[in-house]
């Protein structure tokens, strides 16, 4: 995860964060107040665990952070932190999340990235698909008025994806935190105030 040794890399190492991406979440939370004490947070594509560490600081002792990734992470589980290994597209994942949380989440965040091939169209298509998978899952586990943060990518499908998010949340913002690498086409969408019941988000069962 520590790829190039820039300032954020060094800060992450110094502060004991597992990824330089930790600083993106810190900044996004400073600017948009997405996570508060006591929240139940779901982190999609959490490995190696930098966002989980930041979220755990923000939710405090009363909150809970559940990370999910296809690849394992080590030594981050604790009283109010847990990890589930799996592909977020699997049917069982939404049920496992609600079981582990004992209900719905206050916040779902996704830093999911596919393996990039270098072929721009294909990478864009896969990346947006993954953002859409995250959104589909968020609708199944997010509580009414909950928040959603999703990494997505500039390209031809970005506009229609943003519209889907806008239809489901009271407010939506697109932003690029400072720790994003200059050449990256990443952009984060922030949906606040999930309007669940109108969105086919299956709110009745928990
Ligand atoms: C950029 S990394 C996340 C970094 C993390 N936010 C941090 O701060 O440590 C993206 C992660 O998405 C995961 N991923 C990609 N596709 C996935 C899928 N379908 N299901 C679960 N995890 C996936 C990858 O395994 C990778 O660990």
The Cβ-side half-sphere exposure at 1, using a 13 Å CA radius, reads 22
- What's the rounded mean pLDDT across residues 84-107? 95
Task: Return the minimum-mean-pLDDT range out of 6-15, 54-63, 85-94.
Answer: 6-15
Residue 4 placed within a domain = no
Higher-confidence position of 147 and 1: 147
CA of 111 to the centre of ligand 1 (A): 6
- Model confidence at 197, pLDDT cuts 50, 70, 90, reads low
CA–CA separation, 101 and 97 (whole Å): 6
Name the average pLDDT for the chain.
Answer: 90
pTM of the model: 0.92
**Among 146, 135, 133, 143, which residue's Cα sits nearest to residue 205?**
143
CA–CA separation, 18 and 24 (whole Å): 13
Please give the number of the atom of ligand 1 that sits closest to the Cα of 71: 25
Q: State the residue range of the domain holding 26.
A: 22-197
Number of domains the chain contains: 1
CA–CA separation, 21 and 37 (whole Å): 21
Which residues are known catalytic residues? 151
Task: Return the minimum-mean-pLDDT range out of 36-50, 105-119, 150-164, 183-197.
Answer: 183-197
Q: Note the pLDDT of residue 84.
A: 95
CA of 32 to the centre of ligand 1 (A): 23
- Residue with CA closest to ligand 1 atom 18: 87
CATH number for 32: 3.40.50.150
């Amino acid at each position: 995860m520590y790829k190039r040794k820039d300032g954020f890399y060094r800060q992450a190492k110094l502060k004991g964060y597992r990824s330089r991406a930790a600083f993106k979440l810190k900044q996004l939370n400073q600017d948009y107040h997405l996570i508060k004490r006591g929240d139940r947070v779901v982190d999609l594509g959490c490995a190696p665990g930098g966002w989980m560490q930041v979220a755990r600081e923000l939710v405090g002792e009363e909150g809970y952070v559940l990370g999910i990734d296809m690849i394992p992470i080590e030594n981050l589980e604790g009283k109010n932190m847990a990890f589930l290994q799996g592909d977020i597209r699997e049917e069982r994942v939404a049920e496992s999340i609600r079981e582990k949380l004992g209900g719905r989440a206050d916040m779902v965040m996704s830093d999911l990235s596919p393996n990039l091939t270098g072929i721009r169209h294909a990478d864009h298509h896969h990346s947006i698909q993954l953002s859409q998978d995250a959104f589909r899952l968020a609708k199944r586990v997010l509580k009414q008025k909950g928040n959603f943060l999703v990494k997505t990518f500039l390209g031809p499908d970005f506009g229609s994806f943003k519209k889907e998010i806008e239809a489901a949340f009271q407010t939506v913002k697109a932003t690029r935190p400072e720790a994003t690498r200059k050449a990256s086409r990443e952009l984060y969408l922030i949906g606040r105030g999930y309007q669940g019941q109108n969105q086919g988000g299956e709110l009745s069962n928990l």
